[in-house]
Amino acid sequence: MNPSVMVYTEIRNGSIHPVSYELTGKARELADKLNSEVVVVTLFNKLEEKVEDLFSFGADRVIVSQDECFRLFNQEIHTNVMSALILQEQPQIVLAPATTGGRTVLPAVAGTIHTGLTADCTGLDIEEESDLLLQTRPAIGGNIMATIKTPHHRPQMATVRPKTFKIPEKRSASGVVEPFYLNDDMKQTTIEILDYQPLEAGAENIQDKDIIVSGGKGLKRKEGFDLLKQLADILQGGIGASRPTIEAKWMEYPHQVGLSGKVVSPKLYFAIGISGAVQHIAGMETSEIIVSVNKDPDASIFQVSDYAFCGDLYDIVPKMIEQLKEKLAKPVSDKEGESHV
Ligand SMILES: Cc1cc2nc3c(=O)[nH]c(=O)nc-3n(C[C@H](O)[C@H](O)[C@H](O)COP(=O)(O)OP(=O)(O)OC[C@H]3O[C@@H](n4cnc5c(N)ncnc54)[C@H](O)[C@@H]3O)c2cc1C
């Protein structure tokens, strides 16, 4: 068996974050091509779920390190433990989520063990002739896609944003759970955590939404988002936004979709008054169905859309809202066989 593909999991508030399943599935694909195994690392104080679930997404082994020191996220301790585990396990590849946690831990690990790291990958594969990891990510302001290799150092390390890969179908599988005990050196830290503030209650994470209604500069004014909110509310969706609308303070940053915002992959994505710049498309192109509204027939967004409405958004969106309200108001028996959108 060749050296393993290791996954650093994200555990938030006692739960395994879905991005860990996405990465475990991708690690399985890579490991199958390399004739190697998938080793998933879980570091936590308390866990509501069973680590065994990770086997059904592709793990062969799950390393469990349960310790009080993981109660609050401390980047230094995670770095110490991951570095020690990498030296012990000698994996050929290490994957981590490009969340705040992964983005702070993995660069520090790369520095500690002297290897490279490609951040924010949007594609991962194995080069057939060399077995090297192909790490693809947008570069030069998102204008090109660069594929990066790490030929001389090990492990090859990459972070990947949530929702870049789909969670694989669950399979019935079993594997080995191995404990990993920390020594005092690993718990040494210069960081003193003063406070921990969770997101405000009710604050939505658009990455968790099945439907997202996003607005762009074509809205012309901040109040345009009130119209989009009506559409989103009917569909129980979230609100997304292009970067210029954030810069104009029409919407807050957590709603930004794209290269310097969030990557989303909902079932249904509305791009309204958005031109379709590569940096925006990088954040939403894996959506299942894309519906766009733009008055410019040559807008780039139409090239990635499943349904394209060419015209003024202030004519089209109110009609969409009206029709949806009518359809949703009908008794269930009248709606059989009809789709909602
Ligand atoms: C390093 C870098 C990172 C970036 N990161 C991001 C990112 O994360 N997310 C992001 O979105 N952008 C990002 N950008 C910016 C990106 O390049 C574009 O400038 C931006 O996406 C354009 O936003 P927009 O589509 O809202 O605006 P515009 O490009 O101005 O497009 C507005 C669209 O609205 C249409 N329109 C106008 N009026 C109407 C109307 N009445 N009805 C219907 N349609 C109308 C127009 O035809 C036009 O297509 C980044 C840029 C750089 C350099």
Q: What is the CATH number of the domain that holds 217?
A: 3.40.50.1220
DSSP 223-252: THHHHHHHHHHHTT-EEEE-HHHHHTTSS-
138-162: pLDDT as tens digits: 876 567 889 999 999 999 999 998 8
Q: What tokens were used for 228?
A: 């989009």
pLDDT score for 13: 82
pLDDT score for 337: 43
Q: What's the CA gap between 341 and 52, in Å, rounded?
A: 39
Residues with CB under 6 A from ligand 1: 141-142, 216-218, 242-245, 256-261, 273-275, 277, 279-280, 283, 293-296, 299, 312-314
| 183 in the same domain as 211 | no
DSSP 277-297: -HHHHTTTTT-SEEEEEES-T
User: For all residues of the chain together, what is the average pLDDT?
Assistant: 92
Bond preceding residue 91 cis, omega within 30 of 0? no
| 330 in the same domain as 219 | yes
Residue 340 inside a domain? The answer is no
Mutate to test the pocket of ligand 1, among 206, 212, 213, 242 (most ligand atoms within 8 A of CB): 242
pLDDT greater than 90 at residue 304: yes
pLDDT greater than 80 at residue 336: no
Q: What's the CA gap between 29 and 7, in Å, rounded?
A: 13
pLDDT greater than 70 at residue 200: no
| 95 in the same domain as 30 | yes
Which residue, 187, 221, 251, sits at the end of a domain?
A: 187
Residue 258 inside a domain? The answer is yes
Q: What tokens were used for 77?
A: 């301790």
List the domain range (segments joined by +) for residue 32.
Answer: 2-187
| 220 in the same domain as 153 | no
| 95 in the same domain as 235 | no
pLDDT score for 341: 36
pLDDT class for 89, splitting at 50, 70, 90? very high
| 214 in the same domain as 178 | no
Residue whose CA is at the smallest distance from ligand 1 atom 53: 141
Instruction: Give the global pTM.
Output: 0.66
| 239 in the same domain as 327 | yes
Mutate to test the pocket of ligand 1, among 207, 262, 274 (most ligand atoms within 8 A of CB): 274
pLDDT score for 149: 97
Q: Ligand 1 mean position to 148 CA, how many Å?
A: 28
| 173 in the same domain as 30 | yes
% of the chain beyond a pLDDT of 70: 94
pLDDT score for 161: 83
Most confident of 10-14, 38-42, 161-165: 38-42
Residue 195 inside a domain? The answer is no
Q: What's the CA gap between 308 and 300, in Å, rounded?
A: 11
Q: pLDDT: is 314 or 142 the higher one?
A: 314
Q: What tokens were used for 264?
A: 């989303």
Mean pLDDT of 318-337: 78
Total tally of structural domains belonging to the chain: 2
φ/ψ region of 93 (left if φ > 0, alpha if ψ in -120 to 50, else beta) reads: beta
232-264: pLDDT as tens digits: 999 999 999 999 999 999 999 999 999 888 888
Residue 93 inside a domain? The answer is yes
Q: What is the CATH number of the domain that holds 105?
A: 3.40.50.620
Diameter over CA atoms, the chain: 67
Residue 103 inside a domain? The answer is yes
Q: What's the CA gap between 112 and 80, in Å, rounded?
A: 9
Report which of 179, 240, 249 is spatially closest to residue 207, judged by C-alpha positions: 240
| 28 in the same domain as 173 | yes
Which residue, 187, 216, 236, sits at the end of a domain?
A: 187
Mean pLDDT of 266-272: 95
Residue whose CA is at the smallest distance from ligand 1 atom 27: 217
103-143: pLDDT as tens digits: 899 999 999 999 999 998 989 999 999 999 999 988 765 67
Report which of 42, 22, 191, 44 is spatially closest to residue 104, judged by C-alpha positions: 191
Residue 151 inside a domain? The answer is yes
pLDDT greater than 60 at residue 28: yes
Residue 197 inside a domain? The answer is no
pLDDT score for 264: 87
Q: What's the CA gap between 164 and 284, in Å, rounded?
A: 9
pLDDT score for 169: 94
pLDDT class for 27, splitting at 50, 70, 90? very high
pLDDT greater than 50 at residue 338: no
pLDDT score for 199: 63
| 232 in the same domain as 156 | no
| 161 in the same domain as 45 | yes
pLDDT greater than 70 at residue 201: no
Residue 154 inside a domain? The answer is yes
| 269 in the same domain as 146 | no
pLDDT class for 329, splitting at 50, 70, 90? confident
